[in-house]
A and B are shown apart, each in its own frame.
Chain A
Amino acid sequence: MVTPVTSLGRNGLYDWLIQRVSAVIIGVYLIGMLGYLMCTGDLDYGSWKAFMGSVCMQIANTLLVIAVAAHTWVGLWGVTTDYLTSLTFGKAATGVRLIAQVAIALALVVYLLWGLVLIWGGA
């Protein structure tokens, strides 16, 4: 049994479930947003700002940002552990994989914090 320390849930079932649940959240959000855009006639800045500033959309956007970050991490963690291995990089594989995973993790943390500031910052 393998227990990688960098996987999100440290467990196959958790990672699998996180990826499925986050995919559902992203899918529902996209369908809802598409429905809103199709049902709304002339959309100007004021109505868009009011729509996005509502508590419901702030919560939905927060869920979306977290879901995208989690989904991306599980997916890219899979990609790095598939392709950045000793088969392709020999002895340097661990270093290459660690650098890639740290870079992805940092980018996602920045994305997550930036997203939350945009959603809840009230700008």
Chain B
Amino acid sequence: MKVSIYRYNPETDREPSMKEYEVDTQGKDLMVLDILALVKEQDQSLAYRRSCREGVCGSDGMNMNGKNGLACITPLSQVAPGVLEGKKPLILRPLPGLPVIRDLVVDMGMFYNQYEKVQPYLQNNTPAPAIERLQSPEERAKIDGLYECILCACCSTSCPSFWWNPDKFLGPAALLQSYRFLADSRDNATEERLSKLDDPFSLFRCHGIMNCVSVCPKGLNPTRAIGHIRSMLLERGI
């Protein structure tokens, strides 16, 4: 099958280019990360991130035939119709909207900056109990679908609002994490958290197009979390 990969080395290349490779999959429905390993055998200069190779670490987020996802848990048959059969090439690009360090490796700095802004840790100024802060099963259930985020950046880098204003709009990943702590019964910094989201950009630049939901490899729903935060702001504001 044909594989077309975005190649760019800022030290030697004037501009990025797509490079074609031929890979023999022996008809198997391999994961995209396996294809990258086969390409790497041909061309040692190819750079990409990978670690756990089972969808837990979030290192190998990339754009596969136009859709973001994790290469390690995306089989060829799910990339696009015709890719597995070799009728269409597999096209791999770095996550859109972030500066490319080299080939498929992007600078995640802007993404982490936004994550840092939501203060993704429990804040509670009441005296700590002797053992731990308890939650009822119902309270605990409220953070299901939120805590599972692995920060792969597939969602934020598929969001046009994040592309245009990556310094002002927090992006779906950071907002999902923001709601994860707003929804946590053990956190009591709700007012401070909400007051930081009340400007026209940080949260409200989300127009609900749901690209984030479409690409999340963990099946999470940042748009719903953003809607919940909007509701909290509305209850607080009127």
Q: A residues bordering B, Cβ < 8 Å?
A: 1-4, 7, 11-13, 15-17, 77-78, 81-83, 85, 87
Asked if B164 and A13 sit within 8 Å, CB to CB, the answer is: no
Asked if B165 and A82 sit within 8 Å, CB to CB, the answer is: yes
Q: How far is the CB of A38 from chain B (nearest CB, A)?
A: 32
Asked if B203 and A12 sit within 8 Å, CB to CB, the answer is: yes
- Taking a contact as CB atoms closer than 8 A, the residue among B160, B196, B207 that contacts A1 in the complex is B196
Centre residue among B195, B197, B201 by max chain A CB count within 10 A: B201
Asked if B200 and A7 sit within 8 Å, CB to CB, the answer is: yes
Q: How far is the CB of A100 from chain B (nearest CB, A)?
A: 15
Asked if B204 and A2 sit within 8 Å, CB to CB, the answer is: no
* Interface assignment of B234: CB less than 8 Å from any CB of chain A: yes
Chain A residues with CB below 8 A from B160, complex form: 82
Alpha-carbon gap, A13 to B233, bound state (A): 7
* Interface assignment of B168: CB less than 8 Å from any CB of chain A: yes
Q: How far is the CB of B204 from chain A (nearest CB, A)?
A: 3
Query: What are 15 A-B contacts with C-beta separation under 8 Å?
Result: A2-B200, A2-B202, A3-B199, A4-B201, A7-B200, A11-B200, A12-B200, A12-B202, A12-B233, A78-B207, A81-B165, A81-B200, A82-B165, A82-B205, A85-B165
Asked if A13 and B198 sit within 8 Å, CB to CB, the answer is: yes
Alpha-carbon gap, A13 to B198, bound state (A): 6
Interface residues of B in 154-212 (CB under 8 A from A): 160-161, 164-165, 168, 195-205, 207
Chain A residues with CB below 8 A from B168, complex form: 2
Asked if B204 and A16 sit within 8 Å, CB to CB, the answer is: yes
* Interface assignment of B237: CB less than 8 Å from any CB of chain A: yes
Asked if A1 and B198 sit within 8 Å, CB to CB, the answer is: yes
13 further A-B contacts with Cβ under 8 Å, apart from A4-B201, A16-B230, A87-B164, are A1-B198, A1-B199, A2-B168, A2-B200, A2-B202, A3-B199, A4-B199, A11-B200, A12-B199, A12-B202, A13-B233, A13-B237, A17-B234
Chain A residues with CB below 8 A from B164, complex form: 82-83, 85, 87
Asked if A2 and B230 sit within 8 Å, CB to CB, the answer is: no
Chain B residues with CB below 8 A from A17, complex form: 234, 238
Asked if A1 and B202 sit within 8 Å, CB to CB, the answer is: yes
Chain A residues with CB below 8 A from B202, complex form: 1-2, 12
Alpha-carbon gap, A28 to B168, bound state (A): 34
Asked if A13 and B165 sit within 8 Å, CB to CB, the answer is: no
Closest residue of chain A to B204 (Cβ to Cβ) is: A12
Closest residue of chain A to B194 (Cβ to Cβ) is: A13
Closest residue of chain B to A84 (Cβ to Cβ) is: B164
Asked if B198 and A11 sit within 8 Å, CB to CB, the answer is: yes
Alpha-carbon gap, A82 to B204, bound state (A): 13
Q: How far is the CB of A20 from chain B (nearest CB, A)?
A: 10
Chain A residues with CB below 8 A from B161, complex form: 82
Alpha-carbon gap, A11 to B168, bound state (A): 14
Chain B residues with CB below 8 A from A85, complex form: 164-165
Q: How far is the CB of B100 from chain A (nearest CB, A)?
A: 15
Q: How far is the CB of B230 from chain A (nearest CB, A)?
A: 7
Chain B residues with CB below 8 A from A16, complex form: 204, 230
